[in-house]
Every structure is written in C-alpha cells, then in structure tokens.
C-alpha cells in the first residue's frame, strides 16, 4: 500500500467521532488490517461486525500490537472508554458503519491510480478464469490480482491496497450471495472491463430465480461506459440478455461459437487438456470442457490487450491449479480428484460430465456433499444431480450432508443402489477407506461449508 493520508481515505465517509482532530489531519496510513490474528505493528485497525465475530472485541489485541489508529463504530464508544483513557495519544475514529467505510477506503485509494481494472464474475469458474487471466497478462504487464476467492468487500480492500504506481492491471473477482452485492463491489472497483463466465443457480436461495441471478451479475456490466468492454460466454443461455441495452462493447467466447473458440479440442483428461486456439496447440492444466472454456475466456482478454497467441499460450500453460479446484492425486491404490472447494448445480453437472468422459481402470466414485444456499429449490436441484449421476458412468456415490438426501433418493428411485449416505465426516472417511479399491477414480466435491477438504487430506495425506 502506498502511504496515504487517512483524511483522504475517509472522504465521503460518515465520521462521527475523532478524539484528536489535529492528529487525524496528519495521520498517514501505510497498512490496514481487519484481523488481529495477522496484525502487524503500525497498521490501521478497522473493527468490523460480522455474523460470528465482532472486531470490537479484538481492539485490545490491536492495541497490544501497536496499532497506529483504530476505526470503530460509534455505537460501541461506551465500550472503548477504557482504551481512550489508556491510549490518549493514539488516534481513534468513530464511524456509523465500519463495513461501509471499508468500501469507501478501497474506492478512495484506488481512485488515485490510473490502472486498467478487470472484474470477473459468474456462477462458476470465476477463480480459475481469474488465475488464467492473471498468468497471461503478467507475462508482459505488472498485475495485481485478488488472491484465492477474495471476492467480497473485505477481499476487494485487501487486493486494492496492493496497487501502486507500478501497477498496470487490477484483476478482481466479484462474488455475490445476496442481491445488490455486485453493484456495491462494482461501485468500489469501477472496473473498465468485465468478464462473466456463465449464469447458473449458485446461491439461488437468496435470489429465487436464475433470471434474478442474471440481473445481479449484469450489474457488473452496467457500471461500464461506452469506453468499456464486456467479455461474455456466447453459449450461455443468458448471453442475449446480458449484452442487451448496455453501453460497453461486447466480445464473446465459447467452445463452438463466439469471437474466439478452439479450432479443435484434442484431449481433456486427468493430466490436463490440449486444444488448438488461433493456430497454436495449447496444453493447459485445466480439466474438462468447462476448464477449456475458462482458458478460452482468458485468452480472449489477452488478445484484446495486445498479447500474442504465443504469449497467451505461455501464460495458460504456466498456470497451475489451486487446492480444491481440480488437483489430482495419483496414489498407489487409487486416484483422487480434489474439487472440494465449492459446489453448485452448474459446477456439479460439469464435474459429472468430466468424470464420465475420462477412462479409469477401476470404478468411478463420486463423493458429494450438500450444495448449499439453494433455498426452496434445494430439493429440486439435488434431485437433478441424482438423475445426472444415474445417467453417467459413475459406479458409486458417497453422499454427505442433510440436503443431499434428495440426491440419494433420486438415485435409489431410478434403481441406482450403490449409494452410501453419511451425516458424520469421520464416518464418511472411514467408509471411503474401507470401500475404495485398487484402480478407483474418486472425485470429491461439495459446498465450502461442508469441509470436504478433510476427506481429501485423509485419503491423500496432502
């Protein structure tokens, strides 16, 4: 983070309390934290209220670690009287809503830099596509990219603060599980370019319909003016809707149509994918057609920004997978595909299609946890997954969770009885270890809160 005056960062914020106005005007900020577990001496600490934790309870820890300043919510001031008395020389700033101030700080900080800003959103494939784009563009430019799935307002702040005078591109993933989040994050980032991977029923429990999800994602486009460009999946059923009535230029990608698509897909297996794009044979560490589609989307951006297909090939081929997103473990007795990071109907359908398409000397086993945040439509989508499993070459299902019961029922109703259902993670692991045979191919997938990475760790020792 470039050293910046606190007063500049808080322009437009609802500041309700300052214990030392002269100090406030002079205060410089060079690092910001919302988490005392990783807090460093001299950082500005922002106390956030969350669903599980209240940052105000950790102000004492920030002070012990020599915070340079504390931003708190003014409604908590009675709880801070002791600290105000003990640290009279330290700057304390009260605000109406510290979470909103977080967004204000990120927006103000970013406004002071002239960088190209790329926002990536969609129902599946966001993080992989972001990694591929970053790998491609970083071959020629200085890039700041959101780490992992840092795609909410806290993640945006952490990413934005890495921008400095040397930065050419900011690549920021935008996530949402409630209406209005994409508009809010876009107002902070004010991107010049937007890429939407696809539209599906992820988090549909908070939106009630795919149409409303598409409307939410479109807000990442509507922030663009006529100088902006949006990159869309030409094969997505909401393609026409997303590009209608917008000011930005539209570029498209796909597997079989669009401004850019592969001339030929040569292979899509456990050791990665191989395809011909713009005359070059590209060997990518992505899995299945959905992984190739992510690579094509990233390549389209690379071409747009003037990189050659050779540079793009180099960027795609050097990009490695993230834990929980398609890592393959070839063990002595069986092979494990780790897709444990997250799951929604769109990504589960893609995973079933992928495991169905690849050869295995033994059985194909799917370890599947609940797909969460589907609301009233949970039963419907879990049943659809069961129907897909029955139609595929999957030999056994190890189901985990409560909502997955609908998947289990759909399988059994169709005569697919090689199903084991668990509600305890330790029992699931024990069942897998007992049931796995030599040559088996095991895919592990489930929503983040199901903690199925523990299953992968138990099976692989990774």
Average pLDDT taken over every residue of the chain: 95
- CATH for 4-100 (3.10.180.10, 3.40.50.150, 3.40.1390.10, 3.30.70.2860): 3.40.1390.10
Beta bridge partners of 5: 28
Q: What does the alpha-carbon distance between residue 187 and residue 198 come to, in Å, rounded to a whole number?
A: 21
Looking at the domain 327-460, which fold is it?
3.90.190
Least Cα distance to 155 among 29, 12, 35, 325 occurs for 35
Q: pTM for the full model?
A: 0.92
Q: What does the alpha-carbon distance between residue 17 and residue 94 come to, in Å, rounded to a whole number?
A: 4
Q: What does the alpha-carbon distance between residue 174 and residue 185 come to, in Å, rounded to a whole number?
A: 7
Least Cα distance to 321 among 352, 300, 295, 358 occurs for 295
pLDDT value for 150: 82
pLDDT value for 151: 86
Per-position b or e across 243-276, b if 16+ CB within 10 A of its CB: beebebebbbbbbeebebbbeebeebebebbbbe
Q: What does the alpha-carbon distance between residue 141 and residue 266 come to, in Å, rounded to a whole number?
A: 30
Contact assessment for residue 169 and residue 196, using Cβ atoms and an 8 Å cutoff? no
pLDDT value for 326: 80
User: What DSSP assignment string belongs to 50-80?
Assistant: -SS-BGGGGHHHHHHTT-SEEEEEGGGGGGG
Same fold, 4-100 and 327-460: no
CATH 3.90.1150.50 is the classification of domain 113-317: no
* Residue ranges of the chain whose pLDDT lies below 70: 322-324
Q: What does the alpha-carbon distance between residue 352 and residue 345 come to, in Å, rounded to a whole number?
A: 10
pLDDT value for 404: 98
Collapsing DSSP to helix, strand or coil, 448 comes out as helix
All residues at 6 or more sequence positions from 448 whose CB lies less than 8 Å from its CB, including other chains: 341, 342, 372
- Joined together, the tokens standing for residue 404 give 């997955």
Contact assessment for residue 175 and residue 151, using Cβ atoms and an 8 Å cutoff? yes
Give the Å distances, CA to CA, from 257 to 22, 122, 143, 232, 234: 61, 19, 29, 12, 7
Cα atoms in the Cβ-side hemisphere of radius 13 Å centred on 316: 34
Report how far apart the first and last C-alpha atoms of the chain are (Å, whole number): 34
Q: Where are the domains of the chain?
A: 4-100, 113-317, 327-460
All residues at 6 or more sequence positions from 328 whose CB lies less than 8 Å from its CB, including other chains: 270, 271, 335, 336, 337, 338
Cα dihedral sign, 26-31-33-39 = negative
Contact assessment for residue 374 and residue 381, using Cβ atoms and an 8 Å cutoff? yes
pLDDT value for 322: 66
Cα dihedral sign, 420-428-332-336 = positive
pLDDT value for 324: 62
pLDDT value for 51: 81
């Amino acid at each position: 983070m470039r050293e910046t005056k606190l007063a500049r960062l808080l322009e437009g914020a609802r500041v309700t309390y300052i214990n030392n106005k002269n100090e406030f005007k002079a205060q410089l900020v060079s690092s910001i934290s919302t988490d005392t577990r990783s807090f460093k001496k001299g950082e500005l600490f922002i106390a956030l209220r969350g669903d599980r934790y209240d940052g105000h309870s950790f102000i004492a820890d920030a002070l012990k670690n020599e915070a340079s300043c504390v931003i708190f919510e003014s409604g908590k001031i009675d709880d801070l009287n002791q600290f105000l008395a003990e640290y009279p020389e330290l700057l304390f700033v009260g605000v109406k809503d510290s979470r909103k101030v977080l967004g204000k700080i990120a927006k103000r900080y970013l406004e002071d830099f002239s960088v190209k800003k790329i926002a990536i959103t969609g129902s599946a494939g966001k993080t992989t596509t972001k990694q591929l784009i970053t790998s491609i563009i970083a071959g020629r430019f200085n890039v700041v990219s959101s780490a992992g799935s840092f795609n909410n307002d806290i993640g945006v702040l952490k990413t934005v603060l890495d921008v400095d005078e040397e930065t050419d591109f900011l690549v920021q993933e935008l996530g949402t599980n409630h209406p209005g989040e994409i508009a809010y994050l876009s107002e902070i980032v004010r991107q010049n370019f937007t890429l939407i991977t696809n539209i599906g029923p992820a988090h549909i429990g908070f939106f009630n319909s795919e149409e409303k999800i598409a409307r939410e994602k479109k807000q990442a486009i509507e922030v663009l003016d006529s100088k902006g460009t949006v990159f869309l999946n030409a094969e997505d059923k909401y393609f026409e809707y997303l590009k209608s009535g917008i000011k930005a230029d539209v570029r498209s990608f796909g597997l079989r149509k669009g401004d850019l698509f592969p001339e030929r897909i040569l292979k899509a297996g456990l050791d990665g994918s191989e395809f011909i794009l713009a005359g070059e044979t590209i060997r990518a560490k992505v899995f299945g057609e959905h992984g190739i589609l992510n690579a094509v989307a990233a390549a389209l951006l690379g071409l747009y920004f003037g990189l050659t297909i050779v540079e793009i090939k180099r960027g795609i081929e050097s990009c490695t997978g993230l834990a929980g997103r398609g890592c393959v473990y070839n063990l002595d007795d069986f092979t494990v595909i780790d897709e444990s990071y997250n799951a929604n109907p769109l990504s589960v359908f893609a995973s079933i299609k992928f495991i169905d398409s690849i050869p295995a000397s033994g059985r194909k086993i799917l370890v599947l946890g609940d797909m969460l945040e589907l609301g009233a439509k949970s039963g419907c989508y879990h049943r659809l997954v069961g129907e897909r499993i029955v139609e595929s070459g999957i030999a056994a299902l190890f189901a985990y969770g409560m909502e997955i019961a609908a998947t289990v029922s759909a399988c059994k109703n169709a005569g697919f009885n090689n199903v084991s259902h668990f509600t305890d993670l330790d029992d699931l692991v024990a069942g897998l270890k007992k049931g796995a045979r030599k040559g088996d191919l095991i895919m592990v997938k489930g929503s983040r809160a199901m903690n199925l990475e523990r299953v992968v760790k138990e099976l692989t020792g990774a």
